[in-house]
Chain A
Amino acid sequence: MARNDIPNRNLSQHDVSRRGFLGSAALAGAASFAANMRVLDALQTPTLAAELKRQQKSVILLWLAGGASQLETWDPKPGRITGGPFRAISTDIPSVQISELLPKMAQRMKTTAIIRSLNTRNGDHGGGTTLMETGRAKEAAVDYPDLGALIARELGRADSQVPDYVSLYSETEGRHKGGAGFLGARYAPMFLSDSMIPPNIRRLDSISETDHTDRAAFQRLLAKQFQDRHPRSVVSSHGMAYERVRGLMSSETLFDVSQEPQSARDFYGPTQFQEQCLIARRLVEAGVPFVKVARAWWDSHGQNFETHRELCADLDQGMSALLDDLGQRGLLENTLVLTFGEFGRTPQINPSLGRDHFANAWSASLSGCGIKGGAVYGKTDADGHTVVEGEAKAGDLFATIFSAVGIDPTKEYQVGARPIPIVDFGCKAIPEILA
């Protein structure tokens, strides 16, 4: 399926993103300017064309909530006293082995890179989550946006008819809404908590389609009077939010997995996580720049091996189906698929045959867009207690993510008087992982 045939990605139908052309500050005031811009003219400008291409990228974060064990996934230590009972298996990359609990992913390392050397030091669910969500430690003075908000801001479109940031997380432990911080509520996630359908996305039965549209049009008409009297103010965000409603309502079908043929649903599998991976593909295909699919709850203080048997099987199936499906649809080269959680798990095995929280030497994976498939960055010692090579911080991971999807990791936002870099101080992208 050619890229341009995908709805909302068809450049001849939609306006060029104002943001891409005019820069972030002009967002509020640029409404009338770009409305009539012809796309063909725009494409003749090379920087603009590059901007457009950049903006077609998406990120899917498979968030392993609770902290998955690196020893049972990407960095096995078979035969060591810390290694547990599971073996390492060969993959489609000769020098790379991963845990036998991810046999399907072992055949898909050609599009996947692993970082084995994360040392993020925070083994607390709250602190670790904040750190890995935002790429930096919490600061009293600054309300940092999470990865989804940043990606929504950088890769999203001002006039988008689909959400910019969707977080699929029905009711599980550790559900954490995250937030847009200083970027503002415009970039807050569409957060699914109680059901697989976003809240308030469906028209009430008690109101007809026509009435709903008429009502919205009338509201817009009246609102315009007020907006015109207060240009250059916070009021414009009100109109923008309301303008997105119809588009978002029509994106409800994206969340409806019954729209897919049974063969597609079987391809992914029946579990909730696998279904959500399928929904993630649908969202990304429709132009949603960031989707977080959270799989909870990996916090295996007791029975680590049994728990990982189940959860790794779920992840292995869902993730490999997702990568295959994205690949078949020509989307993988523009979609970055990530796995990580708030931390890893201890090499030491406790008496309940569990592993506890551990942030000193753990792993993340990156697949697809901008990634050098088969690359493995960083090493841990023989038992997995410490990083011995290529220590990486949360900020380094984030810088790498940004680089992979074409966002300049040295970029800064102006927040009040203060320039805030998009990546934490002293952190940079890992070139060994990047294509």
Chain B
Amino acid sequence: MSADPLKLAVAKTIRLKSIGFCIARLPQTERLFIGGSDFKVYEIDAALEKPELIEFQGDGHQSYVMGSVVVGQQLITGGYDGQLIWWDHEQRRSVRTLAAHDRWIRKMVVSPDGKRIASVADDMLCKVWDVESGQLIHTLAGHKPETPHHFPSMLYAVAFSPDSQSIVTGDRTGHLVVWDAASGKSLAELEAPVMYTWDPKQRRHSIGGIRSVSFSSDGQFVAAGGIGTIGNIDHLDGPSRVEIFNWRTQQRVHEISDPGYKGLVEQIVFPRQGNWFAFAGGDNGGFVSFYDASTGKLVHQLKMPMHVHGFVFNESEDTLYATGHDQVAVVTFKEAIPAQAAIPAEEPKPAS
């Protein structure tokens, strides 16, 4: 079934009592794993009439859960507490914890071949781990610890290439590094400085940064998402922004700046098949936008019921599952389904 972004519609929303930061999906199902601001990890089955939040047990995170990926029988999460935690997602129980970073882990991803985890944190390091053993394979240091204005910097975004050979990382100041995943060597550096707004006069601090990165479906391009120049940095009052580079030639090929849909671009996803890509994010509201990968032009976009922090596709890539500020939303872009009323989340039940 081919995706038709023109048919974007919110099919279902599920209320959360917290902010959902990361979402993963068990293949071939609509079972979603959410991590968020209440430090917990939950499963929700979006296929159910009345999905319930089922809380994972064991040694959990001590702060916001920022990354969740499914690898086989396991779910791996990363959080602000600097920990990576492995869970058995059938048992819904932790099996391994790892003190991975000194500072807050902002994101973690798994390689498409399922062998490696990459985590990025505010220690400005990207660490590559073996999924099976939890061993540290590489420590990638290519981002400056301070911004040009003498403040501590943040390393927000990381992604693997579709062939699992490369990694891209993006930081607060708009600096991107592409790495060879096997050797840990830096392959290319790119700059997207517009993503970083420094107010030199009124507020003397900054806002923004690269919040999301992705490789294109063929691995040739790297996309970075964030926010454009902001006037009043008290608010996310700037256009959503994506820049796409041919990372080998270091040429920027597309620049997307959308003042109609303001805020941070928190996640960019390229499909396995198809000449489009999607990104989502928000400010006080939220959005998801679909663009043509060749032309860099807008195909279609939709206001989301919440600021989106993360989303994943289903196998046929005609449905996405998004999480964000106090909600999970299921968005289809096949046949339009009448949107249902939001289903309040029930009290989370402990795993049986």
- Which chain A residues have a beta carbon within 8 Å of chain B's beta carbons? 66, 78-79, 81, 85-87, 171-173, 269-273, 295-297, 299-303, 306-307, 309-311, 313-314, 349-354
Contact = CB atoms under 8 A, between A and B. Distances in A.
Contacts of B63: 78, 85-87
B205 A311 contact: yes
Which of B149, B150, B154 counts the most chain A CB atoms within 10 A? B150
A84 to B, nearest CB: 8
A296 B154 CA distance: 21
A352 B209 CA distance: 14
A302 B307 CA distance: 12
Nearest to B17: A81
Contact of A349 (B37, B80, B203): B37
Contact of B234 (A81, A300, A306, A351): A300
A273 B306 CA distance: 37
A310 B203 CA distance: 11
A310 B325 contact: no
Given A351-B306, A352-B263, A172 B104 contact: no
A425 B325 CA distance: 44
A79 B39 contact: yes
B204 A352 contact: no
Interface stretch (B6-14, B185-193, B283-291, B293-301): B283-291
A66 to B, nearest CB: 8
Contacts of A297: 202-205, 234
A79 B18 CA distance: 12
Contacts of A79: 39, 62
A86 B37 CA distance: 11
Given A87-B63, A310-B152, A172 B202 contact: yes
A310 B205 CA distance: 7
A309 B152 contact: yes
Interface in B242-300: 263, 282-286
A137 to B, nearest CB: 25
Contacts of B152: 309-310, 313
B199 to A, nearest CB: 8
Contacts of B325: 351
A351 B151 contact: no
Interface string B290-320: 0000000000000000110000000000000
B202 A302 contact: no
Interface string B19-41: 10000000000000000011100
Contact of A273 (B204, B234, B235): B204
21 contacts: A81-B37, A85-B37, A85-B64, A87-B62, A87-B81, A173-B202, A173-B203, A270-B150, A297-B234, A299-B234, A301-B234, A302-B236, A302-B237, A307-B205, A307-B207, A310-B151, A349-B19, A351-B286, A351-B326, A353-B19, A353-B307
B57 interface: no
A302 B235 contact: yes
Contacts of A313: 151-152
A351 B81 CA distance: 22
Contacts of A311: 205
Closest 6 CB pairs of A and B: A85-B64, A297-B203, A351-B325, A173-B202, A85-B80, A302-B236
A311 B286 CA distance: 27
A294 to B, nearest CB: 11
A354 B307 CA distance: 12
Contacts of A66: 203, 234
A365 B230 CA distance: 32
Contact of B283 (A307, A314, A351): A351
A433 B288 CA distance: 52
A311 B199 CA distance: 13
A302 B283 contact: yes
Contacts of B324: 351
A301 to B, nearest CB: 5
A22 to B, nearest CB: 44
Nearest to B205: A310
Given A81-B38, A310-B206, A349-B37, 17 more contacts: A78-B62, A81-B18, A85-B80, A171-B202, A173-B203, A270-B150, A296-B203, A297-B203, A297-B205, A300-B234, A301-B234, A302-B235, A302-B283, A303-B236, A309-B151, A351-B324, A352-B284
Interface string B195-216: 0000001111111010000000
Contact of A352 (B62, B64, B235): B235
Contacts of B284: 302, 350-352
Which of A81, A87, A297, A351 has most B Cβ within 10 Å?
A351
Contacts of A270: 150
Contacts of B203: 66, 172-173, 296-297
Interface string B140-169: 000000000111101000000000000000
A85 to B, nearest CB: 4
B60 to A, nearest CB: 11
Contact of B150 (A173, A271, A302): A271
Contacts of B282: 351-352
A314 B122 CA distance: 17
Contacts of B236: 302-303, 352
A315 B17 CA distance: 33
Contacts of A81: 17-18, 37-38
A171 B154 contact: no
B104 A85 contact: yes
Contacts of A301: 234-235
A78 B79 CA distance: 14
A303 B207 contact: yes
